[in-house]
Amino acid sequence: MMFPVVHMRKKVENDTVAWARSLAEGKNRNAAWAENAVRESVSISEREALKEKVVDYIAKDVSELLVLIDGKTVEIDGQKQILQMKNAQIINFEMSNQQKLLKWFSDPTLIFLLMLMGFLGLFLEFQAPGVSLPGILGVLCLAFVFGLQLLPLNGFGVLLILGAIVFFIAEIYITSFGLLSLVGLGLFVLGSFLLFDTPGSSLQVEPIMIWVFAGCMLFLIAGIGYLITRAKNQRPASGVDSLQGKMATVYEDIRPAKPGTIYMQGSYWVAYADEEISENTQIEIVRMEGAHAYVKKIKK
């Protein structure tokens, strides 16, 4: 899947170089430098730019620039025009509140976080159906991201993140000891890096955000796996199964062909054994089957 992306990037780069060279040559600028600026991302100081004929003037502000270009002859739509800029009035156009708000929301990392909040809300809704609030917030976040479409999204990257959420949800219902979560985590990291990887776009999520989230998820998966393993290895803390391995005293003789009675934790229990055990003998519970105990002598 990466080969079409690489091919598209190369095509975009070549098209940009051709456009930059054409523009530089048409304006009598340094075309070779324009190509290097695109391909190699080279940069130079303002003095070097003036020397290399990349720029015509160096000005500290707009007012000084207007003075410098006053009387300069330029070509506009094939006709030569003399710029009269010495007494030109400078008018600043400020962004409206709506434009400022859209600019603030047009941040790749913010869009990424909103998407995560949306998926997390749906994930919590699957874990605890009926709570509603996480699900509603998740839907609102995703509606904002995909509804307004403020930034171009890579469809394959979105699908990878959706696949990661599916694996995380599957972990709730399928005991895989964290394997499904690890696969989901890998899909999430790959999808996050490809999320804004579209032709002609240089937008990307801050890598530190992706790795921090992935690290937290890995720590959470490891912690849950440890707790599950520990719980499986521990003996039950309540119920008859918790009596396995406990000590008790024989109240009534036990024979292989006839059950007896034992006294344990303030109660009397019917007990079976593969050997004869007399009363007042200390025994150990081998296993419990309902209200019946299977016991053995404690070897001294």
Assessment of whether the complete model's pTM goes beyond 0.85:
no
- Report the chain's terminal Cα–Cα distance, integer Å: 70
Kindly tell me if the per-residue pLDDT of 120 is higher than 70.
yes
Distances (CA, A) of 175 to 31, 180, 195, 236, 271: 62, 9, 30, 20, 36
Q: How many CB atoms neighbour CB 125 within 10 A? A: 19
pLDDT reported for residue 5: 44
DSSP 254: B
Mean pLDDT of the chain: 77
> Among the ranges 24-28, 44-48, 236-240, which has the highest mean pLDDT value?
44-48
pLDDT reported for residue 240: 58
Instruction: List the beta bridge partners of residue 296.
Output: 284
Segment 227-251 shows an average pLDDT of 68
Q: Which helix (H) or strand (E) holds 157?
A: helix 155-173
Domains of the chain are: 2-82 (3.90.226.10), 99-233 (no CATH), 240-297 (2.40.50.140)
> Among the ranges 69-73, 133-137, 252-256, 286-290, which has the highest mean pLDDT value?
252-256
| pLDDT confidence bin for 142, thresholds 50/70/90 | confident
Give per-residue pLDDT as tens, 254-292. Answer: 888 888 888 887 778 888 888 888 888 888 888 887 778
Segment 233-248 shows an average pLDDT of 65
pLDDT reported for residue 37: 76
Share above pLDDT 90 across residues of the chain, in percent, rounded to a whole number: 0
Tokens of 54: 């990349």
pLDDT reported for residue 1: 41
| pLDDT confidence bin for 241, thresholds 50/70/90 | low
Share above pLDDT 70 across residues of the chain, in percent, rounded to a whole number: 84
Q: How many CB atoms neighbour CB 85 within 10 A? A: 14
Give per-residue pLDDT as tens, 162-202. Answer: 888 888 778 777 777 778 888 888 888 888 888 777 766 66
Q: Which helix (H) or strand (E) holds 225?
A: helix 207-233
Distances (CA, A) of 38 to 10, 24, 41: 12, 12, 5
CA dihedral of residues 32, 37, 40, 41 (deg, nearest 10):
170
**Could you tell me which residues come within 8 angstroms of residue 261 by beta carbon, excluding any fewer than 6 positions away?**
250, 251, 252, 268, 269, 270, 271
